[in-house]
Amino acid sequence: MITKLANPNSFQKLSDKIYFPCLNLSIFFLVISLYYSFFASPPDYLQGETVRIMYIHVPCAWLSLSTYSLMAVCSFISIVFKHTLADIISRACAPIGACFTLATLITGSIWGKPTWGTWWVWDARLTSELILLFIYVGHIFISNAYNDRRKGDKNAAILTLIGVINLPIIKWSVDWWNTLHQPASISKFSSPSIDQSMLVPLFLMLISFSLFFTTLLILRIKSEIMIRKIEIIEFNQN
C-alpha cells in the first residue's frame, strides 16, 4: 500500500478525495475552537486575558516542530531511497513550517511583553526556535537555488538532516538549562499543570491547526506534482 501511495499519480488521486473534507473540517474546528478560546474559557489567575495568546502560540509551536520532523523523515527517505514524493513533501512543508515558526515567535513576543516585561530575551528556548526559523528559510533558499530541482532537493535534504539536532534542543531546552521560558505544561498526560477549562480550547486549537496544516500540505503537494509534470513535458518538447 505504501509503495502504491508513494507513486505521485495515485497520491494525487487520493489527495483529491481528502482535500475538501480536510478543508471543511479545519474550518469547522477552527470556528469552534476560536469560540472556546475567546468566550468559553476563563482568564488565568495570574496573567488574566493574556493567557488566550497561548491558544495560538502553543499549537503553532507544536506544528513548527512536527512539520520539521516530517521534513526530516522525508529527507532521510529521499537521500537513502531516492524517492521523488519525499522530495515533494519536504519542499511543500518548508514554507508552511516557516510560517508556523514565525507565528510562534511573534505571538510569543506579544505574550512576553506583558508577562515577562520584555519582547525578547536570548534564552535557550527562544534562541533555538529562532534558529529553526533560519533553517526553514535556508531550506527554501537552497531547494530553489539550482536550475536542476533534484540538486536543490538533495542539498536541502542534507541541511534538514543536519538541522534535526535542533529539535531535541528546542524540546528539552527548558529542562536542560535555566531559561526564562517556562517548562511544558502538558509533559505528563495524567496531571497536566493546566486547568481542564483551558485544556479543552488548547486541544481543539491543536486539532484545527493540524487539519489546516494537512489541507495546506495537500494543496502544495498537488501543485508541486503539477509543476514537475509540466517541467517533464517542457523538457520532452525541447
Interface with other proteins (CB under 8 A) = 42-47, 51, 54, 76, 79-81, 114-118, 121-124, 161-162, 164-165, 169, 176-180, 182-185, 193-195, 197-198
- H-helix or E-strand spanning residue 188: none
CA distance 76 to 65: 17
Cβ distance to other proteins smaller for residue 20 or 116: 116
Nearest to 180 by CA among 79, 108, 230, 131: 108
CB of 112 to other proteins, least distance (A): 9
Cβ distance to other proteins smaller for residue 76 or 146: 76
Cβ distance to other proteins smaller for residue 39 or 122: 122
CB of 44 to other proteins, least distance (A): 6
Compute how many other C-beta atoms are within 10 angstroms of the C-beta atom of residue 171.
Answer: 14
Instruction: For the chain, give the number of residues.
Output: 238
Give, to the nearest 10 degrees, the angle between helix 196-237 and helix 84-116.
140
Cβ distance to other proteins smaller for residue 82 or 229: 82
Cβ distance to other proteins smaller for residue 12 or 155: 155
Question: For the CA atoms of 57, 205, 66, 196, what is the dihedral angle to 10 degrees?
Answer: 90
Cβ distance to other proteins smaller for residue 76 or 203: 76
Sequence-separated (6 or more) residues with CB below 8 Å from residue 140: 94, 95, 98
What three-state secondary structure class fits 128? helix
Partnered with residue 44 across adjacent β-strands are 48
Do 221 and 25 touch, CB atoms closer than 8 A?
no
CA angle 36, 41, 44 (to 5 degrees): 140
CB of 236 to other proteins, least distance (A): 27
CB of 53 to other proteins, least distance (A): 12
| Region of residue 44 (left: phi > 0; alpha: psi -120 to 50; beta: else) | beta
Cβ distance to other proteins smaller for residue 94 or 124: 124
Place of cell 486575558: 49
